[in-house]
Amino acid sequence: MQKNKLLQVIKREARHIHFFNYPGRVLYISGSFRWLAEALLEKYGAVHPYSMVYFLPGFVHAELTLDQGTGPLVMNKLQDKQWLRWYRKKISEQPRRWERWKKQHPAVGGLPELCEHVREAGDLLIEMNLYYHLSTGVDRYFEEKIQEIGFPLTAEERTLLTVSRKPSVLMRHDDLALRLKGKLPAYQRLTLRQKASLKRCYQAGYFLHAGYGGVRLWILEDEYRFIQQSSRQQLEKQQQQRQADRKAFHRLKSRLPAALRHWLSIFQYFSQVRDERKSMQQKVFYCQAECLERISSLTGIPRPDLEYLSWKEFTPELLQDNDQLKRIIDERKRGYLWIWSRETRHLFWTGKAARQAYQKYSVQARQRLKGIRQLSGQCACPGVASGYVRVVRNALQIKDYKSGSILVTGMTSPDFVPLMKKSAAIITELGGITCHAAIVARELGKPCILGTRIAMRVLRDGDLVEVDADKGVVKIIKRK
C-alpha cells in the first residue's frame, strides 16, 4: 500500500523535482535529510513533499521537491515584521548554543561517552537546522519580486543584488590569512604572539575542510602550511573583487525603487544566513569526525566505514557487535536508498534492493538525455570562459585537478573552494542566487551558472565547453 502511494506522489510531483549528485557520507547527510523531514513537518507543518537520497560509496544522488517546501511559508511570514524579528533572534542564538554545548561536552571518554557525543551533536544540528533551513528555497521568490516590481536589471546587476552584507566565512578566514602571509618564520620558531595570530586564523577556518563528503581533520601546522603556500596575488584579488562588488552594489542600490530595496535587504540577509548555516553544519560534522577517530582507535573499525552509519546508530551495543556491524556496512557500500514523503513517511532499502528500488522510483533513472549540445541555467557571477570539463562528485577525493578546468558538480560546499579557486568557471546542477556556489563565485570573480539540473549527466571529463554566464548558457564545443 505504501509503495502504491509512493508512485502516486512521484507522479504528482515529477515536474517539481530537482536532481543532483553530491558528495555524501551517510553519517553527515542523515541529520540533514533523514530526520529533518519529520522535524520540519512537526514544527512548521511545511516540508518538501518528496525527497529521495541514493547513497553510493563517496557520493549520493538526490531528487528533491525544493520549491514546494518551506519557501511559500517563509514568503508569507515575511510580511510580518514581528516574525522576522523573531527569526533574526533565533538565528543569532544558534552559534552561541553550539559553542556553549561544545565547551560543556568535550569529546573525551570511552565508547559510551563518544557515541553519546556523536548523537547529541546530531540532535543539536537538527534543532539548529529547524531555523536555518527556512533560509533555503526562497531564491525563486526574489526573482518573482523583481518581475512584480518591474524594474529593469541586467544579468550582472541581478547577481549584485544578493551580495552579502558581510564577507562569507571563507573570505573572513582568507582575509586573516592574507594578513599573516609572508610574516611567519619557520613553524618551530613562531613566537607566542605569532602563534596566537595563527590560532585565530585556524579557528576561523579549521572546519572549512569538512562537508557532506567527509572531513579532513586539520591541525595548526596544516593552517601554517596553507598560509605559506597560498598565493598572495590570489588572496588580494579576492579581496579586491569583494570590494568592487560592494561599491557596485551600493551604486545600484541608490537607484532602486523603495519596494525593491525592502526585498533586497531581506534577501541579502537570507544569503548571509545560508552561509552561516553551512559553517554551523561543518562544525558539527568536524566534531563528529573527531569522535569517530577516537571510536576507530577503540574498535579498530576505519573511520570511512563508520561513516556508513547514521548518527542515530552510534551505540556501544552496535559498535561492539562486529558481525552485525560488518553486515550493515557491507550492505550500505552496495547501495542505500532513503525515500520520504508525507504520505509514506520514511522508506529504506539497502544493497541490491536499494539499486532495484532506485531504478523503479527514480524520475532521473527514466530520463533519456541524448544529443544535447547546450545547457542553460541561472547566472550567479557574469563572465565568459572556455576550458575542459572536470566532473567532481567528491572534492576531498580529487588530487589532480588542473588550473583552468571547468568545474561541474551537483552543488558546492566549502570543501570545494580549493577547486573553485583553480577553475576557469563553475557549473552546478542545483542552487539559487543565495546558495554557497553563488556567494563564493562572486567573491572569487569566477563565471558561474547554477541550476542546470542535468550538467553531470550530459557533460563528461575532457569535454571542451564555453561557459557564457552573461547569458546563462553552456555550449559543448568538442566532445572528448
Looking at 367, 390, 423, which one is the last position of a domain?
A: 367
Residues 6+ apart with CB under 8 A from 69: 40, 46, 47, 48, 49, 136, 137
Q: Does residue 14 form part of some domain?
A: yes
Closest CA to 383 of 477, 466, 446: 446
- Residues 12 and 91 occupy one common structural domain: yes
Closest CA to 70 of 18, 142, 134, 128: 134
Residue 128's pLDDT is what?
Answer: 93
Q: Cell triple for residue 325?
A: 556491524
**pLDDT one-digit tens code per residue, 130-147:** 999 888 767 777 778 888
Place of cell 571563507: 170
- Residues 426 and 453 occupy one common structural domain: yes
- Residues 473 and 380 occupy one common structural domain: yes
Residue 34's pLDDT is what?
Answer: 66
Residues 6+ apart with CB under 8 A from 145: 260, 263
Whether residue 245 has pLDDT greater than 80: yes
Q: Cell triple for residue 235?
A: 588572496
Answer for the pair 423, 398: CB distance below 8 angstroms, yes or no. no
- Residues 455 and 348 occupy one common structural domain: no
**H or E stretch at 140:** helix 139-149
Residues 6+ apart with CB under 8 A from 256: 151, 264
Q: Does residue 394 form part of some domain?
A: yes
- Residues 34 and 126 occupy one common structural domain: yes
Q: Does residue 39 form part of some domain?
A: yes
- Residue 193 to residue 190: CA distance in whole angstroms: 8
Q: CA 397, 26, 348: angle at the middle one, nearest 5?
A: 135
Residue 196's pLDDT is what?
Answer: 95
Looking at 313, 334, 367, which one is the last position of a domain?
A: 367
Mean pLDDT of 179-197: 92
Mean pLDDT of 65-91: 86
Q: Does residue 311 form part of some domain?
A: yes
Looking at 367, 392, 411, which one is the last position of a domain?
A: 367
Answer for the pair 391, 408: CB distance below 8 angstroms, yes or no. yes
- Residue 105 to residue 251: CA distance in whole angstroms: 48
- Residue 62 to residue 288: CA distance in whole angstroms: 23
- Residues 26 and 124 occupy one common structural domain: yes
Residue 1's pLDDT is what?
Answer: 63
- Residues 473 and 407 occupy one common structural domain: yes
- Type of residue found at 456: M
- Type of residue found at 407: L
Q: Cell triple for residue 17?
A: 523535482
Mean pLDDT of 431-450: 85
Residues 6+ apart with CB under 8 A from 255: none
Q: Does residue 221 form part of some domain?
A: no
**pLDDT one-digit tens code per residue, 221-231:** 999 999 998 88
Question: The domain that contains 448 carries what CATH number?
Answer: 3.50.30.10
Residue 162's pLDDT is what?
Answer: 67
Mean pLDDT is lowest, of 100-109, 239-248, 313-322, for: 239-248
Residue 111's pLDDT is what?
Answer: 96
Q: Does residue 64 form part of some domain?
A: yes
Q: Does residue 212 form part of some domain?
A: no
Domain count along the chain:
2
Mean pLDDT is lowest, of 94-98, 183-187, 267-271, for: 267-271
Domain that holds residue 82: 1-133+302-367
- Residues 340 and 414 occupy one common structural domain: no
- Residues 13 and 119 occupy one common structural domain: yes
Closest CA to 278 of 116, 388, 417: 417
**H or E stretch at 287:** helix 258-299
- Residues 115 and 3 occupy one common structural domain: yes
Q: How far apart are the first and last CA of the chain?
A: 47
Mean pLDDT is lowest, of 35-44, 49-58, 289-298, 321-330, for: 35-44
Whether residue 447 has pLDDT greater than 80: yes
- Residues 128 and 1 occupy one common structural domain: yes
- Residue 240 to residue 188: CA distance in whole angstroms: 33
- Residues 392 and 323 occupy one common structural domain: no
Q: Does residue 185 form part of some domain?
A: no
**H or E stretch at 211:** strand 210-211
